[in-house]
Structure 1
Amino acid sequence: MDLSLLSTYFQLQKVLASCTNIPDGFPEFVWKSISQTEMQNKFSKPMTWIGIYIAAASVFCILPMLADLLHGFKNKTLWFSCKYFTLNAASLTVIAVAMKLPMDLNNSMPNPVDQAAKLGSMAFMCIMMANLLPSLATMDSKELLTNIIALAIFYVAMLLVLLMIHTCSALMILNSKQILESEYKAGHERALKDLELRQPTVEKLKQHVSNHWIMTETGSPQFTTVCSATTSASGVICVLSTLLHIVIMLHTRTHMKDYGSDYKWSVLVILITQFIGVLLGTIAPLSRCFASLSFKVSIKWIWNHFRVFKVESYYTRKLYDWKQSRIPLKLSRRRCKIVIQDLKVLILSLCIGFQKTVVVVCKMIALIPIFFVIGILCCFHCWKWLKVMLGASNSVSVEGSGQPQHNKDLSLYVLQLQDDMELADKTLTCISKSVDCVIKRAEKQQPNNLMKLLEESSGFEEIGKYDVQCIPPLTKENYVDCWSLSIVTLTTIAMSFSNIQKTKVDRLLRSVSEGLTYVKHVEEMLNATDEYVTIQKAARTLWLEVDVYHTWLGNKLPNPANKLNTPKETVQWFSDTAEYIVTENMKGSDDSSLYTSISANSMYRITQTILASHHADIDQVSQEELFVKLSSVISQILAACLTNLPRVIAMKCLTSVIEKREESVQTAAQLLGETMQIINSLQDRELPSLNPDELPFIDKWRECFLHPP
């Protein structure tokens, strides 16, 4: 026991001994009280560290919100999509820890700082829910249901209004995705009409990517959700919560040392941390309040879309579908079926009515920022009118004279849930400029080493001179050939010559490394069957070994046998070693043995082709000459593969999963910017007479050159 408490008890005993008429058992009661106080002090000691834990959890909520803000400012998407702060199991766990103060019913919060911290946690929760709302659009139906139920179980008693808004938005998202999906497919078909996939120009590709960028940005489920009345309402509630919390903080500023809960000084840390989170977290919801201004605002528009009793069909369509569907229950009695069906119809009818009520209330709340901005716009236009009247400006009408026709063309690709909503010209121009910025940034990352390698050759004839199909494989299974494995195998042979300058070998390695980055895009998009995927994995595994460790299947490069002087000896050594490796690996059944067997089989067939194609002349060929020859073959194989880049870029613009579409189109824009010079340089080369569907396969190219039509 604490000595101070024990001393206090003995002093109290002395005082009581001098008193009369003391009730029986009073000293024992005092002793029990002192003991309970001591026990409570012991049990409350960890609460300070729990408070620090709460503050740390709050920081982990603030950081992704801040990351979303920075991402929005960087990409000039001021409606701030949820890229980092999303609703999932991990975020719910962290939020649950950060919200311990409002949920802690056992600890009294008697003093001003304690109460301010508890109320601040509620405001912080409002901010987080408002920030999380657009992330619902990134989920499929099952994830939506799971996360909304989890949110409901945890916070139904605290934030009922925001929870209803989340539920209302989730039901709207389910139907809006279907509408946007159908519009996107129609827009994609429209864009394909203007694109020639065999050899499209860079300008055509840029226009194609821009069209899909417009469709992706305006058809993003997050963007659609942000522009809805429910998001505007949650933003208004969030701002009101922030203002209220600021008032509380101003009132509490003179009592910052006045805390009396078991959390002790850590409650002040929680208060300050979550207050910072409230201030930072308000920016995104506040900006989203005005996201509907991305559409042209007018009195007629406000009347059409914010009428009290008008609720768009996509808010209730999913509920109507559930109402008209049949419950999949196997019941034998007809009366039970009738009762269950009628009960389902009754419940869903109530839900539809409740959904409409929530939407109407949200629309009424959403009028606040709309009228606020309309007032600002009116003042701005009045100011411009005054400037014109006073002669201060005589060129106002000229502003943006070159944009209307451009925006008219792009407006064909704007996706919207309602036909009578029109995207503002400035917003459309901003979205169009954003894709131009991505492409221009990517242009600064041109693969210069790859470009130099491609310039060393012209045409594609060398591809047909190395026909591996004429060499029987070492294994029973005849593996298909792919671009990357042929390139890696030929590069391995080229870098094995010991008399070649190291700078030339390093330049070749850098060029091939850059080239394989784009070859991977081609193979993943156009050679995605199981038989090709296995070969591609073997090629990537082999390239890691060759590029990083300068070894081939465990043999050091260059000059793996240390006695190889002539090109013929080197090529023959690779052929013999490959044959031996395949024989030894026939017993293995794991992936490593399979990849080794594939790589060795490729080496054997290519080296045998080299020996057969040169015949007796290979003895007179120097290492330098064969190195140049192999570099030319590598260059032409890379060039042939990269002629498929325009098709890859076009295909990346069409992604079936709506939640991943924005990332895919951004990848297409990045890829276009990086490879514009490559695409332009390959435009002048005459392609073989192959069908567009045959161009992605190296075997078809070889066959075309060996057996021309």
Structure 2
Amino acid sequence: MGYNSTKDFLKLVDGLADECQLTKDKVNSLLGYVKSIYQSEVESRYNATMFWIGMYIALASVVCILAMVADLLHGFHTRKLWFPCKYFRLNSAFLSVIPIAMKLPMDLGGLPGDVDQVTKLGSMAFMCTMMANLLPCLATMESNDLFSNITALFILVITLVVNVCIQIQIQTGVVSYQEAAQMLKVVLPNYEVKISKHRNTTLATIYVTLLLVLLMLHLSSSLPTLKLRKDIKNYLQRHEKDTRSIANKLLTFEQLQKHVTRYLVMEETGIFPQVITTCYCTTSASGVICVLVTILHAITMSSTVKAIFTNDYDSDYGWSTIVILIVQSIGVVIGTIAPLSRCFATLSFKVMSFEIISKHFKVFEVESYWTEKLHEWKRAKIYIPSPILNAVIMTLKKLILIFCIKFQEGVVVVCNIIALIPFIFMICFSPCFRCWKRSMFTTSSEEWTLGWTVNLERTRDLLPYVALREDKIELILRTLKGLLKSLELLVWRGGEPINLVRLIKHKATDGFHGVKKFVHTDHHRIPSLLSEVHEYPDCWSLAVVTLTTIAVSLPGIEKNEVERLLRSVREGLVYVTLVEKSLNVTDEYKSIQKVAEILWTEVDVYRKWLGHKLQVPVIENKTAGQIVEWFSDTANTIYQVVESNGGGNEDSIHICAKSMYRITKTILLSYNENIEKANPEELFDNLSSMIADIIAACLTNIPQVIVMKCHTSAIEKRKASVNDAARLLGETKRIIETIQRYHIPHMSPYDFPFLDKWGYNP
């Protein structure tokens, strides 16, 4: 690193000392400026990196904006005009990104240019809109996460506010540069001072106030959210009775359709807590604040356009401040859409009646859920050994919580007053809102493909599954039609397994006798043999893969038939695996399921079985019966080798060999040891029938899997799980209807998920 200015000055001093014969005192006097020149040069070199820091700030702002845009697109796509916070959320990731975007207001250094000044003010406006967008996501957090994230947001906002207040107080140049402007007036009388000190100070004060108000709204909204999640858990427990009554029944498609519909409505209206927080008066107040911030920022920007085109930026950030200003101004506009829409979403569905209007003007009524948590804390006992200390602490706690309760009530009343602004605005422009509501929420009154109707009276049947409070029922009645339409689209999003349906229709037998043949073939004739190899529980997927391995190895079968069977098994194993992972969850079953997945990849992709290539001359030159015997002998050999080497039941090769040995012996027994006379086409057809029976028997558990997905315990995972249930319902519609046309054995509902139970039932 060179310091040219310092070197040049030292050379100049040396030259003057030689030419002018300066005295030592004069030389020392000149050298006294070296330190200042050196420090200035070092500072300028460090400041050269500030441009890239400015671009980094702009990039962090873009990340936040893109997340807000994603939430907007998701809301419009799903017709949820309360715009749930799916991407832009109050979590550790965005709590790390937001402080980067807020570096300029945090910066204690002065920014003298007009663009620099407005950029700092714009950052505070951007922070206001981001906080308003984050408000509904408070309802998605558990108590511990809510406390930690609110604490982090509190620290961030307070730090920002304190920094700006300090800079306003000591006039560092953040929101004005009064002293610099006065000096410029003296030195350059004709210089135009573009920045209004009073304007910027006033705007900064307003933004600081709004940030504190938004922070109070977050804190106030957190209290009813804690109670809300508890109410939702109790609500879920009440509806778990539905699960216990139908969990182990063979439900028809229509019954599953109704069940999924109910739980999707629960998720979209009440179990999805963001919907409830959207109806809070604090959410409406945040929307009004966003509009105010946008108006203020627009006015500020309008007076700064000339400065932008004249490149009036004088800070070390260079022209990156223009990039930050433009990016964050876009963020202010985009960030206002969701809070404003939430503000009108509830109101726009209300019937314009005198009762509704008068109800909204009861602004001084505070619902109990706002202060219920504070009252619980107030009633809570604190046990301290010292009676005097205990009395003092209890008294202090009571006084503090009384103040908090009154403060909370005051915040709610103020928010109710602020919420009157959009309400009055909506009344004045109600025709426009009716057109907007009609365009966004009107759907056909006809029945759709799956039979969901959208008439308003039918939706009232779903009200017992709506978890919103009674005063929000009108909102739900108007939006249930859109939810049912979304459900229809969701159900048909997945593709139907055509090949699997064809296999079950053409090859499965009534009563799925192939399963019984697989499980319970003539035990009296070979009791010792089966007892030797049956050391692990029967696994649906391993049985299907083993049978398919034999079928695709048979000679004389048309290639199209083999490929059709493989396509059917590929589609079937997707649902078989899903059933096993949902219902057969012991460690022993899991290990066998993993073995089946590995074996299927080997067979399907590489056409191998335990390292032996299928359809090679050593196999192709054999008859169908010889191939079955070859598999039996090879499996027995591998089994004996693994046993002699100390391999256990958990060894994948050991499990695959035992499965093959058992199945081939079953086939040999079914032919009464006359396998040599077996016709390849007939054997292939029999194996295909057994595969179809096993898959069909396994998929009788699909309704139970769908019901289970509707009842995931974790609130945050329930929505995705219910959506999966809806997609699975759409994909398996024809499978469920096809399977239920067959005679299904009379079994205990608890035995259906287990393959070995099917062989012992009529």
If the TM-score is normalised by the length of the shorter chain, which range does it land in?
Answer: 0.7 to 0.9
Cα gap change, 1:336 to 1:537, in 2 (>3 Å): farther
Q: Partners of 2:213 and 2:546 in 1: how far apart?
A: 64
Q: Partners of 1:80 and 1:592 in 2: how far apart?
A: 53
Deviates more, 1:412-421 or 1:650-659: 412-421
TM-score of the two chains, using structure 1 as the length reference: 0.87
Q: CA deviation at 1:259?
A: 1.1
> Amino acid of the residue matched to residue 372 of structure 2?
R
Q: CA deviation at 1:15?
A: 10
CA contact (8 A) 2:139 2:225 kept: yes
**Please, which of 475, 482, 487 is the counterpart of residue 430 of structure 1?**
482
Match of 1:450 in 2: 500
Match of 2:231 in 1: 179
**Please, which of 223, 238, 251 is the counterpart of residue 275 of structure 2?**
223
Q: Partners of 1:241 and 1:625 in 2: how far apart?
A: 78
Match of 1:72 in 2: 75
Q: Partners of 2:16 and 2:562 in 1: how far apart?
A: 97
Q: Partners of 1:285 and 1:521 in 2: how far apart?
A: 40
Q: Does 1:214 align with 2:271?
A: no
> Amino acid of the residue matched to residue 372 of structure 1?
F
Match of 2:189 in 1: none
> Amino acid of the residue matched to residue 130 of structure 1?
A
Q: CA deviation at 1:489?
A: 1.8
Q: CA deviation at 1:126?
A: 1.9
Q: Partners of 2:684 and 2:696 in 1: how far apart?
A: 18
**Please, which of 408, 414, 427 is the counterpart of residue 361 of structure 1?**
414
Q: Does 1:168 align with 2:170?
A: no
CA contact (8 A) 1:316 1:352 kept: yes
**Please, which of 685, 693, 708 is the counterpart of residue 636 of structure 1?**
693
Secondary structure class of the residue paired with 1:528: coil
Q: Does 1:500 align with 2:575?
A: no
Rg larger in 1 or in 2?
2
Q: CA deviation at 1:633?
A: 0.8
| Within-5 A mapping of 1:22-41 | 27-41=30-44
Q: CA deviation at 1:549?
A: 3.0
CA contact (8 A) 1:239 1:286 kept: yes
Q: CA deviation at 1:14?
A: 9.4
CA contact (8 A) 1:217 1:431 kept: yes
Q: Partners of 2:110 and 2:6 in 1: how far apart?
A: 23
Secondary structure class of the residue paired with 1:247: helix
Map Cα deviations across residues 444-495 of structure 1 (whole Å, 9 max, x no partner): x111111111122232111111126857579899321122221122122222
Match of 1:285 in 2: 339
CA contact (8 A) 1:180 1:417 kept: no
Q: Does 1:252 align with 2:254?
A: no
CA contact (8 A) 2:5 2:37 kept: no
Q: Partners of 2:434 and 2:40 in 1: how far apart?
A: 69
Q: Partners of 2:116 and 2:714 in 1: how far apart?
A: 47
Q: Does 1:374 align with 2:427?
A: yes
Match of 1:311 in 2: 366
CA contact (8 A) 1:48 1:265 kept: yes
Cα gap change, 1:280 to 1:599, in 2 (>3 Å): farther
Q: CA deviation at 1:689?
A: 0.9
Cα gap change, 1:598 to 1:112, in 2 (>3 Å): farther
Q: Partners of 1:117 and 1:560 in 2: how far apart?
A: 77
Cα gap change, 1:593 to 1:563, in 2 (>3 Å): farther
Q: CA deviation at 1:688?
A: 0.5
Q: Partners of 2:53 and 2:626 in 1: how far apart?
A: 72
| Within-5 A mapping of 1:343-492 | 343-377=396-430, 403-418=455-470, 421-423=473-475, 425-442=477-494, 445-457=495-507, 458-459=509-510, 460-467=512-519, 470=523, 478-492=535-549
Q: Does 1:119 align with 2:172?
A: no
Cα gap change, 1:147 to 1:551, in 2 (>3 Å): farther
Q: Partners of 2:32 and 2:265 in 1: how far apart?
A: 77
RMSD between aligned residues:
3.5
> Amino acid of the residue matched to residue 549 of structure 1?
Y
Cα gap change, 1:473 to 1:48, in 2 (>3 Å): farther
Q: CA deviation at 1:652?
A: 2.0
**Please, which of 622, 626, 649 is the counterpart of residue 569 of structure 1?**
626
Cα gap change, 1:420 to 1:280, in 2 (>3 Å): closer
Q: Does 1:271 align with 2:325?
A: yes
Cα gap change, 1:100 to 1:689, in 2 (>3 Å): same
Cα gap change, 1:191 to 1:629, in 2 (>3 Å): closer
Q: CA deviation at 1:538?
A: 2.6
| Within-5 A mapping of 1:536-551 | 536-551=593-608
Q: Partners of 1:134 and 1:509 in 2: how far apart?
A: 48
Q: Structure 1, unaligned stretches of length 5 or more?
A: 384-397
Match of 1:386 in 2: none
Q: Partners of 2:407 and 2:42 in 1: how far apart?
A: 50
CA contact (8 A) 1:474 1:582 kept: no
Deviates more, 1:578-587 or 1:154-163: 578-587
> Amino acid of the residue matched to residue 292 of structure 2?
L
Match of 1:243 in 2: 295
| Within-5 A mapping of 1:661-672 | 661-672=718-729
Cα gap change, 1:240 to 1:206, in 2 (>3 Å): same
Aligned residue pairs, count:
686
> Amino acid of the residue matched to residue 700 of structure 1?
K
Match of 1:90 in 2: 93
Deviates more, 1:244-253 or 1:627-636: 244-253
| Within-5 A mapping of 1:494-643 | 494-559=551-616, 562=619, 565-582=622-639, 594-643=651-700
Q: Partners of 1:480 and 1:402 in 2: how far apart?
A: 48
CA contact (8 A) 2:85 2:134 kept: yes
Q: CA deviation at 1:374?
A: 2.6
Q: CA deviation at 1:51?
A: 1.5
Match of 1:388 in 2: none
Q: Partners of 2:215 and 2:675 in 1: how far apart?
A: 77
CA contact (8 A) 1:236 1:366 kept: yes
CA contact (8 A) 2:135 2:283 kept: yes
Map Cα deviations across residues 552-590 of structure 1 (whole Å, 9 max, x no partner): 333333449557612333333333443444455569999
Q: Partners of 1:656 and 1:455 in 2: how far apart?
A: 36
CA contact (8 A) 1:5 1:34 kept: yes
Cα gap change, 1:588 to 1:674, in 2 (>3 Å): farther
**Please, which of 54, 58, 69 is the counterpart of residue 55 of structure 1?**
58
Match of 1:393 in 2: none
Cα gap change, 1:668 to 1:368, in 2 (>3 Å): same
Secondary structure class of the residue paired with 1:686: coil
Q: Does 1:653 align with 2:710?
A: yes
Q: CA deviation at 1:41?
A: 0.7
